[in-house]
Each structure stands twice: as structure tokens, then as C-alpha cells.
Amino acid sequence: MRTDLRPTLAEAASTSSSNLAFALRCLPAGRRHAALVFYRFCRVVDDIADDPNCDPGWKRQALEAWEVALSSKQDLPGELLEVIETYEINPDLLVAIVQGCEMDIAPRPFGTLVELRDYCWKVACAVGLVSVRIFGCQDPQSDRYALHLGYALQFTNILRDVGEDAALGRVYLPDELLLAHGVSRPSLLAGQPDGNFLALMQDMASLAASEFEATRRNLPPKDAKALLSGEIMAAVYGKLLKSMRSDRFQVFSKRYSIPRWQKLAIALRVAVPLKF
């Protein structure tokens, strides 16, 4: 088991195949580098929470070390500190991301959608609020865009990962939705959902779709080009959501993803109108 608690970016897993790294390629070189440094931070703290080889106590200590370093701006990796200072990022947003990852160490059931949204704010919306600073957005409406996109992406992730999360003993779907559709938590954990599982997933998908729609409504024309990466992410994940819905959410038997050639086609479709 690892014993070093010092905040570092060196442990980040490769980001080359992720949807986010793909979307960030359209940024100017300086902003792209800053965004990737920030993304490495997100990956590191997420990997700490999910590492099966470390005990929960060590994970909490490691994440607490990150919180202290971010709050004091001391003992941070130099690259990350430079990003925070160059783009005038509120460190509290990064602390929120760490706190969201800490919630994954020993996941508790979410009783309500409100509780789930609080979790999503930490692990996704806060990421978006940092990103719009790095992207160079000027219109305050970009923050609303980032919030809605964060919820949309995280809801879609939760839907996609229901089967994988259940295999790890995790259920992110809130109890109020499970109860409404007669789906029990044990049945999900066993990989054999009871009740009206499809209706449950469709309801959650409708929430995600409404957040994608709110994202589109809140795209500020002034920042449209700066938000090209966000628009690519929205289009890729929107396609992913559509694929799951049309396939009736076979999330216990397959992993849904978008082929690289489709991502390229989506990126071109999104980018061309914004360049003129």
C-alpha cells in the first residue's frame, strides 16, 4: 500500500482516450495545457478514491492532504498552482471536487434527487466552473452553461455505469426513484433488477436530457467559440444518452461508448458553425 500522502500529479492515469481529453484538443496550446493539468488533478483525486489496493483510511488522509494544500496554496504541484493563479481560479472549487471524490470512498445511498445533485455539483459542476475560467469565458452566463452541462454529463455517466457500479457495490440512483418504480437496491447489486427498471432508467434519462436542453439554452453567443470543448462534450454525451435510450439500457450486459470516428464526426459538426 502507498504511504506517501503528498499531493502530486505524477500518479495520473493516461488521459489520451477519454472523451474530455478528446474535446480539449480544440483549445489553443496554452489553454489546452492548463486544462490538461487541471484534468490530471481531477484524475488523481478520483483515482485515490477508487484505488482497490488502498484502505479507506489512507484514502481519506490522502484526500485531506489535497484539501489542506488547496486551501493554503502550499505544497501544491507547481503546474497546478500556476494554473490556479494564472486563471484566477477559486481553490474552493477544487476542494469541492476532492470532497466529491471522498464521497466515493464508502458510497452512501442517495435518498433524494436533491442529494444526488449535491454530489454531482461537487464531482462535475465544479469541474465545469473551473473549466470555463481556463477556456477564457467572459459572459457570466457561461457559469450557468457549465452547471447544466455538469449535471447532464454526470447523469449520463451514472446511467451508463449502473452495471459496473453495482458490481462494485455502488448504486447512485436515488432511493426516491427506486421506490417510485419498485426497484430494490439489492436487485441492482445482484445485477438482476426487479420492478420497472426500464421506466426508472427512462426517468433518469429524461432528467439528463432536460439538463442538455438547459445547456443549449444557456450557451452565450459571446463565449460560443471559447466553449467549443464543452459543446463537443455535450454532443458526444448526448449521442451516448440517445444510444442507451434506443437500446433500452442494457447496462448490465454491455458498456456503451462512442467510437472515435463518430467523435471526430461530432467534433466537426459542432466546430464548423462556430468558426464562422
* Between 107 and 105, residue with greater pLDDT: 105
Element spanning 72, H or E: helix 56-72
Amino acid at 261: W
Helix (H, G, I), strand (E, B) or coil at 28: coil
Distance, in Å, from the CA atom of 63 to the CA atom of 43, rounded to the nearest integer, reads 12
- Which pLDDT score is estimated for 13? 47
Backbone angles phi, psi at 248, to 5 degrees: 60, 35
> What confidence tens digit (pLDDT) does each residue in 186-212 have?
999 999 999 999 999 999 999 999 999
Distance, in Å, from the CA atom of 87 to the CA atom of 73, rounded to the nearest integer, reads 14
Q: What is the pTM of this model?
A: 0.94
Q: Average pLDDT of the chain?
A: 93
CB 270 within 8 A of CB 231: yes
Residue 140 has pLDDT above 70, yes or no: yes
Least confident of 3-17, 36-50, 125-139: 3-17
DSSP per residue, 224-260: TTTTHHHHHHHHHHHHHHHHHHHTT--TTT------H
Amino acid at 87: Y
Q: Quick one: which of 210, 218, 200, 196 has its CA closest to 162? A: 200
Q: What angle do CA 183, 189, 191 make, to 5 degrees?
A: 85
CB 189 within 8 A of CB 169: yes
Which residue is it, cell 454491455?
Answer: 254
C-alpha cell at 217: 439554452
> What confidence tens digit (pLDDT) does each residue in 223-270 have?
999 999 999 999 999 999 999 999 999 999 999 999 999 999 998 899
pLDDT interval class at 3 (50, 70, 90): low
Taking the CA atoms of residue 49, residue 51, residue 52 and residue 55 in that order, the dihedral angle to the nearest 10 degrees is -60
Q: What distances in angstroms separate CA 84 from CA 78, 130, 211, one per listed residue? A: 10, 9, 28
Mean pLDDT of 40-65: 94
CB 124 within 8 A of CB 146: no
> What confidence tens digit (pLDDT) does each residue in 142-171 have?
999 999 999 999 999 999 999 999 999 999
Residue 131 has pLDDT above 60, yes or no: yes
